[in-house]
Structure 1
Amino acid sequence: MFLVPRCGFLFVSGIKRIKLILRLSDRGLKMSSEGSLNAELSKKTSFLGLKLWVLICVCVGAFIVIILCILSVWVTFRKRSRKSAERFSLSQIPNVSKDIKIDRVGTQTSHESLFQPVLEKSSDKHSDKTSVHLGTRKSSDPDNNTQCSSVYHHERGLSSISWEEGSCGTDRKHSSLLHGGLMTASPLIGLPEISHLGWGHWFTFRDLEFSTNRFSAETVLGEGGYGVVYRGRLVNGTEVAVKKLFNNLGQAEKEFRVEVEAIGHVRHKNLVRLLGYCIEGVHRMLVYEYVNNGNLEQWLHGAMCQRGILTWEARMKVILGTAKALAYLHEAIEPKVVHRDIKSSNILIDDEFNAKVSDFGLAKFLGSGESHITTRVMGTFGYVAPEYANSGLLNEKSDIYSFGVLLLEAITGRDPVDYARPANEVNLVEWLKMMVGTRRAEEVVDPSLEVKPTTRSLKHALLVALRCVDPDADKRPKMSQVVRMLEADEYPIPENGWSKWETHILDVFKSSESKE
């Protein structure tokens, strides 16, 4: 009876012993495998006699170091890219001042004769020196099919037209203002939208080399102290002016930064438009819209005289456009921009005889809390304000003096300084003051003008100019006031009262009018 339980006990104990034996065998196998693995890792390799486990650790460590180096280079590159972008970044374009009228871009102007054609007796051998568009063309306004011409023969008896708002038609549909101008078709259409500075177009050196025929001498438009300007044609057919800056001791970088910061973001119909730039190696280039009708200096004294003589109306249109551009730079943006080199060669003229202020390489900035800055005297002799030349103190009043000289140059057709003239006529400003003071104002008008301005128009322009070149900088008007004075029919009355010089000039003008 006790045989069955005894057998069961023996069976259970047998199974337990078998499990114990299996466990011990597994442990033995594991110990033997670990031992063999350790033996393999401890073996020396042929590479410098290092053990296998040491070589594996070195490889893993090298891989980690390479990954960290790659990450470090990438982070450094990203930081430099951001700094480069921030270096040229500007604050958002401020709102236009209420005192400045907004000019409209993209509209044609209906106007009278803009220059007097030269008689056939003039030689044709110089006719190919400067190319000027002389044909009649249709208005760019799609809602207006009236034809406008950039060149006209003078017709007497035509009524005067307002230059600012006049257009070939009265319809101005689908317009959108952007700080002094209408949005027009971009000259960059068809080009890749690439920019490193957040605005404009980034051109490669190869792009601009191709557009200017490898910067050939035939494409040179002009040359200055900081670079050469070439005429180019982009792959989309747009004509541009490419300013290639000289790389002399970092001056190219400085000039590049100044021009980019000065007009990179601004838009105004009377400012030459900066389309893009090139930053590649040591090369610094700026790409501007191409203005195809010469500059004011060429029309008054140079090659464009072969084409014809600017009429009084055309001169005043150019002067008014220049005044509006300066008013925008001085009063409508923050910080204000002082151009510092206003002169006739920097006033470009398009085929509708609109002024385009150019060359901002010497520009300086004035913050809202700054009345002036001290800087090295720069500019062009004859246009520089006397207080700036004597002390180096610069503010927007210096531009206003230069503008006054420019206006006198347009009125008289004379250079600001001309040593070929008699001693008392060398300096334009001093000579003109003498002529006005001796009641000979009518004699100062450019003798090349076939149709002279009315006496009232001449004296009105002279009084504006003389207020701008007042020796007392504080007495000079703001550019917004100059704009209003040029547009007004009456004599300009200063808000802060007349200076002794202005009172004397006004008395001279009024007395001469009473005699007439």
Structure 2
Amino acid sequence: MCSIIRKFKDRTDKRTLMVRNGATVLKELIASSHGKYNPYRIFSAKELEIATNNYDGREVIKQCIFHIYKLYKGFWQERLISVLKFDESYSDSAYRYSINNIVYAAQMDHKHILKLIGCCLETPIPILVFEYGEYRTLPERIGLCGNPQPRPQFEPLRLKHRLKIAMDIAHTLAYLHVGFPRPIVFRHVIPSRILFNEENVAKLFDFSLSISIPEGETHITDCLMQPQGYCAPEYVPEYVPEYMRTGVFNEKYDVYTFSAVLLELLTGQGSMDLLHTHGSVRHLIEHLNNYLQNNRFTEIADPIIVQDLSCTEKEHQLQACARLTLECLNESAVDRATMVDVTKRLRQIYCSI
């Protein structure tokens, strides 16, 4: 009798969660997308437990730096998948991030954005299912962080491939900014949010912090918890404590944070490590500019890139990309290029040989 009552209660709890979560997702989707979004599958909690071997720690692809979520390798219907599971101990923020990921990922139709396959609404915090993207994050591919899990080995990233990655991610951000009735600001353009699939294609991932600018508006005011080095100066003064950060921003915020991707691609060093070394973004810019103006940028570029500079044209490509990085870091949002312009510049640099 007890087991029957327990099973009935479990079914009732799942139905309650599905109704609540489904209503929230639908409400946010309609508000954000005007009812235009891609179909996705609804998974049961049991299906995803089986797919991930009960969320086996050995199958973790990547983990959020703040431990709010883990992305697992899974196997479903004879295909590999990625399963995004949030930690329920971060209930309020994790729930908001989970819903945000469903709402925005469901609207995406771009080959450089990790594709949403479906989600599970039976759990307190919805679980998301994406296409497979286990072939390392950008920092791992550059060699900036060790990983205890065995992964496929790849050739070092040469300059041409790094420029292609930068161009593809810039195009993806431009798509978010101009491809929708209400511009979408990604707000977390950092290298660890870029995954690779088995074809070596870069994929932008994690819409936890993304937000749409209201119709008829050019900016939006919101609070944002993000490491100081990735916050654009127009958003908040550096001296304001992180928990008090509320500011005004628009698509130019993504242009600024995109510089973190360019910095790591060019220098082979973590952008946060560079920031800590130089103390502030302003000092970092002065450091980079000094080497660039004195034609010594190869001294601070990734040695793998330097070894690849077999002709003058490639060195010009490196210098042009370094200049673009500094422009993206411009303190004035007005003076920064748009992501559409950044994409065009990167394409010109990439095709210059």
Aligned equivalent of 1:322: 169
Q: Take 1:368 and 1:422, find their aligned partners in 2: how far apart are those partners?
A: 41
Tell me, yes or no, if the aligned pair for 1:232 and 1:239 is still in contact at 8 Å: yes
Aligned equivalent of 1:208: 48
Q: Take 1:314 and 1:380, find their aligned partners in 2: how far apart are those partners?
A: 28
- Partner residue of 2:60 out of 195, 205, 220: 220
Question: Does 1:238 pair with 2:238?
Answer: no
Aligned equivalent of 1:271: 113
- Partner residue of 2:322 out of 453, 462, 471: 462
**CA offset digits 1:350-377 (Å, max 9, x no partner):** 2333221001111111123222222223
SS for the counterpart of 2:257 is helix
Tell me, yes or no, if the aligned pair for 2:98 and 2:125 is still in contact at 8 Å: no
Give how far 1:405 is off.
2.6
Q: Take 2:277 and 2:20, find their aligned partners in 1: how far apart are those partners?
A: 59
Segments of 5+ residues of structure 1 without an aligned counterpart are 1-78, 95-196, 493-516
Structure 1 469/422 Cα, relative in aligned 2: closer, same or farther at 3 Å? closer
SS for the counterpart of 1:382 is helix
**CA offset digits 1:481-516 (Å, max 9, x no partner):** 111111125999xxxxxxxxxxxxxxxxxxxxxxxx
Tell me, yes or no, if the aligned pair for 1:460 and 1:491 is still in contact at 8 Å: no
Segments of 5+ residues of structure 2 without an aligned counterpart are 1-18, 238-245
Tell me, yes or no, if the aligned pair for 1:269 and 1:356 is still in contact at 8 Å: yes
- Partner residue of 1:393 out of 223, 248, 253: 248
Aligned equivalent of 1:27: none
Q: Take 1:349 and 1:388, find their aligned partners in 2: how far apart are those partners?
A: 30
Give how far 1:241 is off.
1.1
- Partner residue of 1:440 out of 285, 289, 296: 296
Question: Does 1:413 pair with 2:237?
Answer: no
Aligned equivalent of 1:310: 157
Aligned equivalent of 2:202: 355
Q: Please give the residue correspondences for 1:188-207 in structure 2 after superposition, counting only pairs within 5 Å.
A: 199-207=39-47
Structure 1 488/328 Cα, relative in aligned 2: closer, same or farther at 3 Å? same
Give how far 1:217 is off.
1.3
Q: Take 2:153 and 2:179, find their aligned partners in 1: how far apart are those partners?
A: 38
Q: Take 2:249 and 2:280, find their aligned partners in 1: how far apart are those partners?
A: 28
RCO (CA 8 Å, sep 6+): is it higher in 1 or 2? 2
Structure 1 333/282 Cα, relative in aligned 2: closer, same or farther at 3 Å? same
SS for the counterpart of 1:242 is strand
**CA offset digits 1:153-175 (Å, max 9, x no partner):** xxxxxxxxxxxxxxxxxxxxxxx
Q: Take 2:154 and 2:264, find their aligned partners in 1: how far apart are those partners?
A: 19
Structure 1 255/348 Cα, relative in aligned 2: closer, same or farther at 3 Å? same
Aligned equivalent of 1:404: 259
Say how many residue pairs are matched: 312
Which deviates more from structure 2 when the two are superposed, residues 316-325 or residues 85-94?
A: 85-94
Q: Take 1:465 and 1:263, find their aligned partners in 2: how far apart are those partners?
A: 28
| 1:239 counterpart letter in structure 2 | L
Aligned equivalent of 2:338: 478
Q: Take 2:271 and 2:291, find their aligned partners in 1: how far apart are those partners?
A: 15
Structure 1 334/246 Cα, relative in aligned 2: closer, same or farther at 3 Å? farther
| 1:279 counterpart letter in structure 2 | L
Question: Does 1:87 pair with 2:27?
Answer: yes
Tell me, yes or no, if the aligned pair for 1:227 and 1:245 is still in contact at 8 Å: yes
Structure 1 349/430 Cα, relative in aligned 2: closer, same or farther at 3 Å? farther
Aligned equivalent of 1:51: none
Structure 1 204/434 Cα, relative in aligned 2: closer, same or farther at 3 Å? same
| 1:395 counterpart letter in structure 2 | N
Tell me, yes or no, if the aligned pair for 2:21 and 2:121 is still in contact at 8 Å: no
Q: Given the two structures, how large is their TM-score scaled by the length of structure 1?
A: 0.55
Tell me, yes or no, if the aligned pair for 1:231 and 1:240 is still in contact at 8 Å: yes
Tell me, yes or no, if the aligned pair for 2:21 and 2:126 is still in contact at 8 Å: no
> What is the percent sequence identity of the aligned residues?
28
Aligned equivalent of 1:256: 98
Give how far 1:283 is off.
3.9
SS for the counterpart of 1:359 is coil
Q: Take 2:63 and 2:268, find their aligned partners in 1: how far apart are those partners?
A: 24
The structure with the larger Rg is 1
Q: Given the two structures, how large is their TM-score scaled by the length of structure 2?
A: 0.79
Give how far 1:419 is off.
6.9
What is the CA RMSD across the aligned residues, in angstroms? 3.1
Q: Take 2:35 and 2:87, find their aligned partners in 1: how far apart are those partners?
A: 30
Larger helix proportion, structure 1 or 2?
2
Give how far 1:93 is off.
7.6
Tell me, yes or no, if the aligned pair for 2:61 and 2:134 is still in contact at 8 Å: no
Which deviates more from structure 2 when the two are superposed, residues 319-328 or residues 294-303?
A: 294-303
Tell me, yes or no, if the aligned pair for 1:204 and 1:280 is still in contact at 8 Å: yes
Aligned equivalent of 2:179: 332
| 1:343 counterpart letter in structure 2 | I
**CA offset digits 1:455-503 (Å, max 9, x no partner):** 21112212222221111111111111111111125999xxxxxxxxxxx
Q: Take 1:408 and 1:84, find their aligned partners in 2: how far apart are those partners?
A: 38
Structure 1 282/417 Cα, relative in aligned 2: closer, same or farther at 3 Å? closer
Tell me, yes or no, if the aligned pair for 1:319 and 1:355 is still in contact at 8 Å: no
Aligned equivalent of 2:7: none
Q: Take 2:163 and 2:176, find their aligned partners in 1: how far apart are those partners?
A: 20
Q: Take 2:171 and 2:334, find their aligned partners in 1: how far apart are those partners?
A: 20
**CA offset digits 1:262-312 (Å, max 9, x no partner):** 121211011111111111141410111111321111011134897442100
Q: Take 2:26 and 2:349, find their aligned partners in 1: how far apart are those partners?
A: 47
